[in-house]
A and B are shown apart, each in its own frame.
Chain A
């Protein structure tokens, strides 16, 4: 017997009839795939949230930095561009920009 004949003989001996699909196995795989999909979506949301939180922390830190740079007395009713009132306003705006989209995502802004 040459090599091709040997291979053919081995193929015959090792061949198995194909089995029909197993619906239970398919269901298990699809359940695992759905869980995987949901897990990925949750991970993406967590990452986005972490980035937003980092942005907020940086904003607060920057505000305090501006405030620490403030010097000298300011007359009543005067808002200096680099003064504490402006820093507070900036912080408030940043907080709004950061926090409001999160509230919308979580459905907190919706009427119940």
Chain B
């Protein structure tokens, strides 16, 4: 298994893991953090390599990576002292296909970061609530509250767009 070989310090196995997971992780972090998403993804992979020996296989490798990515994002936010929502222009790296998609992407950009991450994990990435709670390192109840609040705001946006 690649993750076990990477945990043993085999760089070639880690390279294969990067190839497999980078599109999904970069997409997640770009939508979470905007323009700095790629830098965060790179920092996440380097941190994962540094901590490769600590991987225990308790979750999927992507879940483990996403957890590291979320921590990288939080420390980046602390460094930047940014607490306001992301700039919407920076948050929309791809062109939405229709007005509803545009509206919902803008609503995502306006969400507080924890709600945005919860919505990305549970709605866009298809993670279960328990996986998302593990990634964000919050209790399951807290995660469900974050998802509920995000859902409420996104639905309100959809209703306005109709």
Contacts and interface: CB of A to CB of B under 8 A. Distances in A.
B8 interface: no
Contacts of B76: none
A32 to B, nearest CB: 5
A26 interface: yes
B101 interface: yes
Interface stretch (B45-53, B66-74, B81-89): B45-53
A27 to B, nearest CB: 9
B124 interface: yes
B38 to A, nearest CB: 7
Contacts of A6: 151, 155
Contacts of A32: 42, 45-46
Interface in B23-78: 23-24, 26-27, 38, 41-42, 45-46, 49-50
Contacts of B122: 7
A99 interface: no
B2 interface: no
B11 interface: yes
Given A19-B23, A20-B23, A25-B41, 12 more contacts: A3-B151, A10-B104, A13-B101, A16-B27, A16-B124, A22-B23, A25-B38, A26-B22, A30-B11, A30-B18, A32-B45, A34-B11
A16 to B, nearest CB: 6
Per DSSP, are chain A's interface residues mostly helix, strand or loop, or mixed? Answer: helix
Interface hub of B42, B100, B108 (most chain A Cβ within 10 A): B42
B22 A21 contact: yes
Interface residues of B, number: 33
Contacts, number: 78
Contacts of B139: none
A18 B24 contact: yes
Interface string B101-124: 100100010000000000110111
B136 interface: no
B59 to A, nearest CB: 21
A13 B26 CA distance: 19
Given A11-B123, A16-B94, A29 B42 contact: yes
